[in-house]
A and B are shown apart, each in its own frame.
Chain A
């Protein structure tokens, strides 16, 4: 039987405690995008800070037992979204979050993600009022987490 998820804790300073890569082959989401989202959320929540190194491609691929190209594709995507940067001969590092996109593009990207959540709410019969209340709650929880990490 397939294990639904693979969790890996890597021994790279900060990554030991703060980022757990968790792959789920049953989520229907391409594996490289799962990696992209996990690095993005770690960067957004402050679990990793600008300047922190990402694990190199080979050990991460070996640990997760995924194709090396999958990790390379995830890192390329993160780089094009300016979440990380590659320094020749040194590896990949988390960038300070300064989005390269214009405001309207940023709003559109968030809207797309929200659409997924709205569809899910519809499937699960969660109404608009409940959905909005939940959104607010999640946003606050996220901010709280960030603040406590900074402290």
Chain B
């Protein structure tokens, strides 16, 4: 087998539930060492896609490869190299935190005891506590420890921080950066689906937005922020009929106009300048704003 250049490769993935197409022709590539954001609205097909990566669901059509392997045929080889934190975490209620972590460790070839101790301390968890007595935040913390300690090459996170308080969310992200990413940075890939895009903004270096089970937009985060700009202009006299090309007008009231451009900020600004311009400012859209701008009804500017 050749060395795979991608940690995740998805080609034309289709997954049907009865007559509903949850995923319908999705393509995606994740390079090693990246933190890849997987964004979409509820029901867009994110969790279904993730379940196909983990062989929790079989694809109806198309191809999925993880580490260059088919997760259905090479289930153990694939799963031994990745870890998964779902949005809802359940443990055996009679086990303590310590028992639970030992139980997880027993399935793994490697287990970083030092990281385990450090994270238990950092999260102020009581190892003797029964898992049935843990809060939602604490359960997610235990799941994160169980995911980081085996030092997997791929960390799959499905809505990991939804429903958690801001402090737990912050610690969660710091743990992904610190305890997980620091080990062997070139070989620590994160694949995260989330609605809390702004919290992960600094972490994401590439992302895909999906809708109705298909890709809508795939870009590097830096390129996206450079390309999508919001322009706010004020004129001395109310302008009429400025030709704005592909720009989308967000608001226009009297002498003021606010619009979003995709890649051609300079051209649009020159057109605006043809009017009696009083002031003009630009700022990049955040990834969350790009998400909204891309999926908002009536206004795809992708």
Binding site for B on A (CB under 8 A): 1-3, 6, 23, 25-31, 57-59, 61-62, 64-70, 72, 123-125
Give the docked Cα–Cα distance between A69 and B285 (Å). Answer: 22
Contact A65 B203 (CB under 8 A): yes
Contact A66 B229 (CB under 8 A): no
Q: Which residue of B lies closest to A73 (CB)?
A: B205
Contact B182 A68 (CB under 8 A): yes
Question: Which residues of A lie under 8 Å from residue B33 when comparing CB positions?
Answer: 69
- For the complex, is B35 an interface residue (Cβ under 8 Å from A)? yes
Give the docked Cα–Cα distance between A61 and B174 (Å). Answer: 8
Question: Which residues of B lie under 8 Å from residue A6 when comparing CB positions?
Answer: 202
Q: A25-B225, A28-B226, A58-B178 are in contact. Are A65 and B284 (CB under 8 A)?
A: no
Give the docked Cα–Cα distance between A27 and B283 (Å). Answer: 6
**Distance in Å: Cβ of B277 to nearest Cβ of chain A:** 8
Q: A27-B283, A28-B225 are in contact. Are A2 and B177 (CB under 8 A)?
A: no
Contact B286 A26 (CB under 8 A): yes
**Distance in Å: Cβ of B127 to nearest Cβ of chain A:** 24
Q: Which residue of A lies closest to B226 (CB)?
A: A28
Question: Which residues of B lie under 8 Å from residue A3 when comparing CB positions?
Answer: 198
Bits for B254-298, please: 1 = Cβ < 8 Å to A, else 0: 000000000000000100010001011011111111000000000
Contact B178 A25 (CB under 8 A): no
**Distance in Å: Cβ of B231 to nearest Cβ of chain A:** 10
Residues of chain B from 101 to 136 with CB closer than 8 A to chain A in the complex: none
Contact B288 A2 (CB under 8 A): yes
Residues of chain B from 174 to 214 with CB closer than 8 A to chain A in the complex: 174, 177-178, 181-182, 185, 198-199, 201-205
Selected A-B contacts with CB under 8 Å, 30 pairs: A2-B198, A2-B288, A3-B198, A6-B202, A25-B201, A25-B287, A26-B225, A26-B283, A28-B225, A28-B283, A28-B284, A30-B222, A31-B222, A59-B178, A61-B178, A61-B181, A62-B174, A64-B202, A65-B202, A66-B203, A67-B177, A67-B181, A67-B205, A68-B185, A69-B33, A69-B181, A69-B185, A70-B202, A72-B185, A123-B280
Contact B35 A67 (CB under 8 A): yes
Contact A65 B173 (CB under 8 A): yes
Question: Which residues of A lie under 8 Å from residue B204 when comparing CB positions?
Answer: 67
